[in-house]
Each structure stands twice: as C-alpha cells, then as structure tokens.
Structure 1
C-alpha cells in the first residue's frame, strides 16, 4: 500500500472542496473540515480524514443535511438545548462552545444537549476547547448497540 503525505493546509483544502462539491454550505464545511483535520493532526485518524468518504456519501443521500443552521434555545440560566436540524454536529458544538462558558461562570455549572445531529467526532477535542476557556467539561454521546464502551467487548 502506497502512502501519500500532504500538509494540513492541503488536507483542509481537499476536505472543504469535497464537502462543498457534495452539498454542504461553506460555513458548515468549514466547521467539519476544522474538526476532521484537527482529529487527524492529533493522532485520531478514526475521526479524521477517514471520515470524508462516509460524510460525502451521507450528504449525497440526505442522511446529513449539509446546509442547515442549528438553533439554540436557552431553557434555563444553566441549560441549553440545541437542535442541529439533522445536520453536522460541529456547527451545533460551536454554538455551545461560544454560549455555555458564560453561563457556567455565571451559574457555577451549565449543561447543553444537542439533538438531531450527525456524528460528533473526537469528544476529547470538545473537552479541550472548554479547558482552554478555563472550564471542566464532560462530553457524552449515544451510539448504537454494536459499539462497545471503552474497554468493553461486543
């Protein structure tokens, strides 16, 4: 098997172009591209560039809606609910990253729930984003029963 090495900028260009060519909006493609390239660069290829073919196929079939804008609802002073509109999770996660820290600082704790979203990628990177803002976070996601928890067996 031949391996090809490309720069991170070349990877960004390729991923972004593939997403746009298959129905994603520029804004959504930017969020997805950033997440996939970050995962690849941080040594998590299972959530990186290897996802591009399946993301493109899911755009083409409509499994993921590439042009939707997530909506945010402030349920209480410490709770957000985000509807990703059956689109990519990354734009919804960005809404949370930009809104939740202020709420957490104000209330001492805050939580967000994202629904109707696509694969959310490398959960650790979302926690790191909160850590860079001086906050502790937990990220949880659901999965179908074929995926065993860390250390478990199918």
Structure 2
C-alpha cells in the first residue's frame, strides 16, 4: 500500500518534527529541504524514512548534536574543511555545498571537506543544488567507521556503501544527476524489503560462498553481504570496490574523519558506529573553462540526443540519470509525494512520540502505529 501527501504538507511536517527533535528553526528548514527532496524524487529510503528511523531518534538521544555549530577549520581560495561539531549531515553538507559553489565562482574549481558529521541523506541533493547555480558538482560521503561490506574477496565488513553523486546543468530540461552507491544497492533498500516482507532481487546479496541470496534477513544476520557495483571480480566488481576506496580516502583521511578499514578491525571485527562521518563536495564553474554559455547548450544537446536514441525493445525507452527523477518530482508536485505504507506508518509512530499533529494523508486506519512492529 502507498499514500500520497502534498509536497508542502510533507515539508512542513518534516520541519516541525525536526524542531521538536531539537534543531533550530533554521537548521530544521535546511534539513527538511534535503529530506523532502529525496521523497519528491523517488529516493524513499533516504527521505522521511530516514527522518523517522535515523535523524529524529538520534537528535533526541544525543547521538547527533542538535545544537551543533559547524565551523571552518581550514580555508584557502579553492579549498576548505568544515568541522561539523557532531551535527546533522544534512545541515553541514548544505553548508559545504554553498561554500564550494562560492569558492568555485572565484577559482574555477573548489573542494570542501567535512569531518565530525553524520548521515547526510541523498547525495544527489547537494550535486543538484549546485546545478541550480549553474555549476557542475560531485558530492560523496563515507559511513565513518561503520562496516557495511567486506573488501572484494574478503570476509570482514570494512567499508560503507560510500555513495557519490555527480550533477551537471542542462538548461531547457532535466539536468544530469547521477546518484549512486559503490555497492549494487543501498542497504536501506534491503531494510525496506525486510520490513515489507519481500525477497530482494538476485545479485544484491551473496553468501560467503559467493552464491546469490534473496532473503534480506541473511544480510542483517551476517550470513550474506551486499555486492559491489559490478558484482563479482569477473563481472566488474573491482570497479565498485575501487570507487568505495576512493570515497573513503577522500572523506576519511583527507577530510580528517573516521573511516572503515583500520587495523583494530582485523583483531576483533566488532560492529562500529557510523559517527564522525566525512563528506566531500567538489564544484566546477564552466565559466572558468570559457564555457559559461556553451556548456549548458552542449549538455542539453548531448542528453536530448541520448534520450532520442531508438530503444532496443518496442516497449522500451532510452533516458539518462536525472530525467526519471525529474519526472517523479513533477508528479510529486502535481499529485503529492508517494510514500510506501511502511514509511507512512513510521511517520505516524514518530509523530505520536513527538506529540505532533499527523497530516490526514498519513493516518488511515491501516497505518495506525499499533500496526507497526517493533
């Protein structure tokens, strides 16, 4: 079952939930934008699902510092490092994105790293935000010291899903926005399948013998691991694995944040928290390359030509990263944001915990909190 809720209603609900969880009005407004972007564009595991499951509980119990005051601790014309003060990654990375855009306007290319932060939601939000200023952008994050997947061919979970997004403006249509994890799938989708009582597609998980597993419980029981983008070593898994290492190198040692593969993990292999997470945002100004106007026109031609390619199947179509999400956004703005029933149920439960009014769209009888299993 799914529900639809007006976009502005969902944004207002998220904003109030965040203030009641301890954030200031300004930080709650920023975070609500990032959260609702995810649901609006179809990334439902990273939107209000994360608000109810990660952000609100951790803000309330102090695992995320609701009163954080991020500060710049290193600064040059084209680079900076922000200490997030243990705060919400949605806020610190928005700050980093805007700073990277500002610096790129001056120097052509700029990079801002963040340390001492937390989960930052949908990577695509930050890259997309830069395109609205006419810039190209790359955004990425590690998972701190948390191990989600073992190195290719290994047995100990050392690395995170380590997502990254790349976006480029293309006036006159949907921008290019590639939002991906270095693993075949984000673990939130595995959790969603478990919650909904369904199997996951073949190729998402493999057991310790390399055999495909479709039971999501196997991942959380430690009997199977999420695969790297590309699958096995034979089918290109080294590419996803290599991307994950790159993200950890930039968001960990370079940013001064935690990272997964450390020697102590080899000795005890214990699960570690996703704290002191690192992020990186890179912004590129086409004007610095003499392409202030021509880049956008060229990008539009390139993307439209790709989309016009004849499909291989009569019932198929050709598109590009960013276009389906733009269509979903238009639908969300017109008809309301589509949320899975289990996510809506989580929001009802969170609202009751916060003594917060629940939008009517989220409270049909089948979604009452009593129906949500612990």
Work out which of the two has the higher radius of gyration on C-alpha atoms and give 1 or 2: 2
CA distance in 2, matches of 1:13, 1:134: 28
Structure 1 window deviating more from structure 2 (85-94 vs 96-105): it is 96-105
CA distance in 1, matches of 2:107, 2:37: 31
CA distance in 2, matches of 1:3, 1:123: 25
Kept in 1, the 8 Å contact 2:127–2:139? The answer is yes
CA RMSD of aligned residues (A): 1.9
Which runs of 5 or more structure 2 residues have no equivalent in the other structure?
149-159, 162-181, 185-225, 229-374
The size of the alignment, in residue pairs, is: 153
Q: Is 1:15 aligned to 2:89, yes or no?
A: no
CA distance in 2, matches of 1:52, 1:100: 26
The residue that corresponds to 1:41 in the other structure is 40
TM-score (normalised: structure 1): 0.88
TM-score (normalised: structure 2): 0.39
Shift of 1:72: 2.3
**Residue by residue, what CA displacement relative to the aligned partner does 1:34-61 show, whole Å, maximum 9, x if unpaired?**
1111110011111111012221110121
Kept in 2, the 8 Å contact 1:101–1:135? The answer is yes
Which secondary structure does the structure 2 equivalent of 1:80 belong to?
strand
Where in structure 1 do 4 or more consecutive aligned residues deviate above 3 Å? none
**Residue by residue, what CA displacement relative to the aligned partner does 1:96-152 show, whole Å, maximum 9, x if unpaired?**
233222322322221100111111111112111112222222212112321442336
The answer to which structure has the higher helix fraction is 1
Kept in 1, the 8 Å contact 2:22–2:67? The answer is yes
Structure 1 window deviating more from structure 2 (110-119 vs 8-17): it is 8-17
Which runs of 5 or more structure 1 residues have no equivalent in the other structure?
none
Taking the TM superposition and a 5 Å limit, the aligned residue runs for 1:1-154 are 2-53=1-52, 54-143=54-143, 144-146=146-148, 147-148=160-161, 149-151=182-184, 153=227
Structure 1 window deviating more from structure 2 (108-117 vs 65-74): it is 65-74
